[in-house]
Amino acid sequence: MAPLRGAALIKDEVRRLPDRPGVYRMMGDDGEVLYVGKARSLKKRVIQYAQGRFHTQRIAHMVDQTRSMEFVTTRTETDALLLEINLIKQLKPRFNVLLRDDKSFPEIVIRREHPAAQLRKHRGAHTIKGDYFGPFASANAVNKTLNTLQKAFLLRSCSDSVYESRTRPCMLHQIKRCAAPCTGLVSIEDYAGLVEQAGDFLRGKSRAVIARMAEQMTAAAEEMEFERAARLRDRIRALASVAQETSINPETVDEADVFALHAEGGQACVQVFFFRAGQNWGNRAYFPKIPQGGVDKSDEDADVMGAFLGQFYDDKPIPKLILVNVEPAECGLIAEAFAQKSGRRVEIARPQRGEKKGLVQHAFTNAREALGRKMAEGSAQTKLLAQVCEAFGLEAPPERIEVYDNSHIMGTNAVGGMIVAGPEGFQKSQYRKFNIKGSDLTPGDDFGMMKEVLRRRFGRLVKEEEEGMLSGKGGEAVRPDLVLIDGGMGQVGVVVEIMADLGVDDIPVVGVAKGPDRDAGLERFYIPGKPYFMLEPKSPVLYYLQRLRDEAHRFAIGSHRTRRAMDLKKNPLDEIEGVGPGRKRALLHAFGSARGVSRASVEDLAKVEGVSGPLAQRIHDFFRKG
C-alpha cells in the first residue's frame, strides 16, 4: 500500500487531532519543513487544507508537497502564536513569510561595575551591570547620541585597563569630551552627578537636565566664573543639537516603534523607526521574504505585517506603543502575546489623524523609496559590495570604504595614502595623502607611519563631529563603513589601538596581506580577534579587494614620487635662515648654482650685494655642517 501524501495524508491526520490550540508543521521530502502554522483549534484549521479549496497556488503547491505532519498542543492560542514565531525563526520554512537580516540592534549602556561609570555601545544580552538604553537602528545612530553624551556629560568611554594606566589626560579630555576622572581632574562624587544627568537625559528628561544646566550657567556667570559658564554653555548646545540631528522628534510620542509596509512586484519593504525618550533613535529598512505565489491579495499586507511583527520582537524589547500603516492579521492576539511576553500592556494602533499618523506616513514614504531603490539595484558594484559585507560579516553593504597604504624609500619622503570607494566606484575627490611628519620615527618604521596616518585621519574625524554637533549643521565629518589596511595582524593591531584611543573603535577594520610568496590570489585577511582567512582564488569579491589595494598602492607611490621629485628640485638655500628670494637670486647670479655657493669662501660670499658678514658666515657654516 502506497504511503499517503498531500490532501489524503492531511485528511487522515485530522481524525486524530484534538479541538485545542496548537502549532502544526507540514513536512516534505527528507523531512524538510515546508510550513509552520498555529490554530485556535488544530482540528478545524488543518481540515481546511484537506478540502481542496485554496486561495492561492502557493497553498495548493504546499499541500501537494506535504509528506508528513507534526503537531504540538498548547494551553492557549497566545502560547501557540509565540511557539509558532519561535519555530519559524528557527526552521525558516520556505512557505512562510520570513524576516531576513535579523541582526541585533545596538544599545547604549552606562556600565556601573566601576566607580567611574563607563559610557559605551553594546550589543547582545544584558550581561553587564548597568543601565541600558535603546534600541538604536544603526551604529551611526548610536554614534551620534554617544557624541552628544560625551560632549554634554563628559563621560569616559575608555576600557578599565586604559583608565587604570593613565597618568595624564587623554585626547578626549583635551577636546572636551571627557572629564578625566582617571587623573583626578574631577572627583568621583562630581563624576557620579554627571552620570546621573546622562541617565536622566536618556530617560526622556532632557528639558529638566537642560534647565538645571542653564541655572548652573547663570550662577557661574554671576559669580564671575566665566570659563565654567562657557563650558556649561557648550554642554547645553550639545544637547540642543539632538533636535537638529534627528529628522523627526515627536512631541506626543515618548516611546514607540513605527512600522510601515509597502509591497510591490512580489517584494516588500518594512521601514522601522524607533522613538525613545521623545527622540528619533534611527530607522532601518527590512525586506521580508515573501513565498512565491503570495497569499490572498485582500489579506496579503495584513498577513505580512503580522508575520513580520511576530518575528521582529521574538528577541527584542517590546515598547508600549506600536504604530503601523497596515493593521496586522490577528492584531488583538499579537498584542496579547506581546503583553504576555513583556509583562505590560502593549498597544498596536493604526493612527487616523494627528502627529502619529504623520510619523506612520513618513515611515511609509521611506519604505516605498527603499523598495524602489532595491528593485532598481542590480549593478555589479552593488553585488560586489554585498559580497564584501558577507565576507567580512558587516551589518550592511559598505557605502564608504577607506583603504590605506604607505610608500617610502628607506624611510625618506614617506607618504601615507588614503583612497575611498563606494557604490559609485572610486571617489577620487575624497582621496587624501599624508606627508609623514613624525620626527621621532625610525626610518622605514611602517607601524609608526601607519599610527601617524590613522591618528591624523580619525583625530580630524572626531574634531569635525564635535564641531558639527555644536553648529547643528553636521559639518564635513564622514565615517567610513570599512577600513582596509595593507598589512597583516601587526598593522591591524596598531590601527585598532589608535581607533580605541580616539573612541572610534566601532568602525570595522580588515588587514589585507599578500600570501607567503606575495602571489596575487593568495591574500590573507585579518579581522581583529579572529584567525586569518582566505577567499576563493577566482571569486569576484577577491578581485574587487585586490583592485582596492592596488589603487591605494598606486596612489601612495604616486604621492611619494611627487614629494621626492619636489625634494630633488628643492634648493638648499631655501633652508638657510636670512636668505630670502632676493638674496637667493643674488647668490645664484654671483656663483651660478647652489653648488657654486657651497664652495665659496666667507670673503667671497660677503661681497654679494645684501649679504652681511654674519650671514656670509652662516651660509658658509650651513654647507659644512657635519
Q: How far is CA 423 from CA 308, 367, 399, 592, in A?
A: 29, 20, 6, 55
pTM over 0.75: no
Which neighbouring-strand residues pair with 324? 259
Amino acid at 506: D
pLDDT given for residue 247 in this prediction: 46
User: What gap in Å lies between CA 114 and CA 164, rounded to an integer?
Assistant: 11
pLDDT given for residue 475 in this prediction: 46
Q: Which residues have a Cβ under 8 Å from the Cβ of 119 and sit 6 or more positions away?
A: 108, 109, 110, 111, 146, 149, 150, 153, 155, 156, 157, 198
Pick among 3.40.50.1980, 3.90.550.10, 3.40.50.2300, 3.30.420.340: CATH of 388-568: 3.30.420.340
C-alpha cell at 398: 559598505
CB-based contact 97:303 (threshold 8 Å): yes
Q: 139-153 and 226-245 helices cross at what angle (nearest 10)? A: 160
pLDDT given for residue 401 in this prediction: 94
Decide whether 6-91 matches 572-622 in CATH topology. Answer: no
278 φψ region: left (φ > 0), alpha (ψ -120 to 50), beta (else): left
99 φψ region: left (φ > 0), alpha (ψ -120 to 50), beta (else): beta
User: What gap in Å lies between CA 183 and CA 170, rounded to an integer?
Assistant: 10
Pick among 1.10.1060, 3.30.870, 3.30.420, 3.40.50: CATH of 256-376: 3.30.420
Pick among 3.40.50.300, 3.40.1440.10, 3.80.10.10, 1.20.1580.10: CATH of 6-91: 3.40.1440.10
Q: How far is CA 593 from CA 298, 564, 573, 582, 587, in A?
A: 90, 21, 10, 15, 8
pLDDT given for residue 1 in this prediction: 62
156-178 confidence digits (pLDDT tens): 988 888 888 888 888 888 888 88
pLDDT given for residue 295 in this prediction: 44
| Nearest CA among 132, 120, 129, 117 for reference residue 195 | 117
Which neighbouring-strand residues pair with 89? none
Q: What is the CATH topology of the domain spanning 572-622?
A: DNA polymerase; domain 1 (1.10.150)
pLDDT given for residue 338 in this prediction: 93
User: What gap in Å lies between CA 130 and CA 110, rounded to an integer?
Assistant: 5
pLDDT given for residue 54 in this prediction: 60
102-142 confidence digits (pLDDT tens): 667 888 899 988 889 998 888 877 888 888 887 887 777 78
7-41 confidence digits (pLDDT tens): 889 888 888 898 999 999 999 988 889 999 999 99
pLDDT given for residue 244 in this prediction: 46
Q: In what order do the strands lie in the sheet with 33-39?
A: 33-39, 22-27, 68-73
Ranges of residues in the chain with a pLDDT under 50 are 243-247, 294-298, 378, 472-475, 626
Domain segments of the chain as ranges: 6-91, 107-245, 256-376, 388-568, 572-622
C-alpha cell at 534: 582566505
Task: Tell me the DSSP string of 157-196.
Answer: -S-HHHHHH-SS--HHHHTTS---GGGTSS-HHHHHHHHH
| Nearest CA among 32, 112, 27 for reference residue 71 | 27
